[in-house]
Structure 1
């Protein structure tokens, strides 16, 4: 690895860590950079997943104030994320990449629409009885998003924000804090699987890890200051960019 390649990977990791904490979709920065530098797609995906784990941790730490009182919720939804992530990681290792090429853009598109209409959906659900942890439908959909996150993960944050915003009676910043933890759990579980059974390029993972840690702290500082309407606009813009990138 040349110094220039190392710098490029570090920069991509910093950008990914920052955008992951604010919205998600950081893999749309790091994954293409690794592929462009000559890494095979599966090795790039695996190394990227491992490298982004510290960034998720730093982002969750930056949102620690918004996580107060949500421990039981995180434990419940975290289990769904672990199961989904391990399932998705196994799928990555045994299925062709084309398996998700059709459904992923559609999934992100639906998530963007849900983010836009989430206030109205929340108001409608507010008149009904809602489970404090989101109920069984949120658990199931978080598990499914974990499958996607373990498989590839780009724009997983957009999907999670849409689901959590609809099913939880919380403001968007507290929802974003939960999203950061769950996305980190998915990355962590998938990373452990990949370390055990797949080939990780440790130099690439290391530079992404350092960059994403710095970017995660920066992203938390920025994201926590954004008004809900601005954060919602950023989420949709990133989601649309992800769709364009994948088509």
Structure 2
């Protein structure tokens, strides 16, 4: 590969890491680039997880440096998604790309409608729901989110934010922290499966991870400083743009 191709990968990784941390869908940018550079789709899917791991390590550190946390509940969600992530990775097989993209586009539109019209996305002083039943529903939801994330990853952030805000009434800032923390855990289990199956291109994965990690660190600290209002605007714009891309440019 030429040097400028590595620079392209780092740049794409930075954008993907930033978008993944604040909203979701960054892998819809990084995956096509990896495939364009010659990786088979299954290898690109696995290689992208190396970058996601690095991104989430730095994103979690960035949120914590700003005092954002949701423990011990986040550990229960992460453990549930870890099991789901391993299952999803084992079943990471070829699916019809056009059908998948359109289904994902519909999901994303539903999420953005919720962001716009559902008041649960607005932070309230007594809005968090952390009683036993709401935590149980959260753990169940994250098991299935882990399966989806282990299987394909792209767009999982939107589902995670929807679950945390609707089930537990979390602010977008706290939801983003739990999102990247859980993603760190279930991505680890999925990556282990891909390593066992020898699907990872380590050179491209580590180069992409440099960009993703930088984007995740900056985005996590930036989002805490800007708060829910700016995150909501960023999220809406991102979802609409990616939904249009998925529906019309598959």
TM bracket (short chain): 0.7 to 0.9
Q: Give the Cα separation in 2 of the matches to 1:74 and 1:128.
A: 14
- The CA deviation string for residues 198-247 of structure 1, in whole angstroms up to 9 with x for no partner, is 32111110101111111111111221122312211211221222222222
Shift of 1:48: 0.8
TM-score, structure 2 length as denominator?
0.87
Whether contact under 8 Å (2:123, 2:171) holds in the other structure is no
Partner of 1:185: 185
Partner of 2:173: 173
Whether contact under 8 Å (1:132, 1:169) holds in the other structure is no
Single out whichever of 150-159 and 166-175 deviates more from structure 2: 166-175
> Matched residue pairs, number?
244
| Structure 2 counterparts to residues 138-217 of structure 1, below 5 A | 138-217=138-217
1:53 aligns with 2:76: no
1:200 counterpart SS class: coil
Partner of 1:237: 237
Shift of 1:31: 0.8
Whether contact under 8 Å (1:155, 1:242) holds in the other structure is no
1:107 aligns with 2:102: no
Distance 1:129 1:84, change over 3 A: closer
Q: Give the Cα separation in 2 of the matches to 1:36 and 1:49.
A: 17
Q: Give the Cα separation in 2 of the matches to 1:133 and 1:194.
A: 34
Shift of 1:77: 0.5
Shift of 1:41: 1.2
Whether contact under 8 Å (1:122, 1:167) holds in the other structure is no
List gaps (5 residues or longer) in structure 1.
Answer: none
TM-score, structure 1 length as denominator?
0.88
Whether contact under 8 Å (1:14, 1:211) holds in the other structure is yes
Q: Which runs of 4+ in 1 moved over 6 A?
A: 121-124, 126-129
Shift of 1:8: 1.0
1:32 aligns with 2:32: yes
Whether contact under 8 Å (1:66, 1:177) holds in the other structure is no
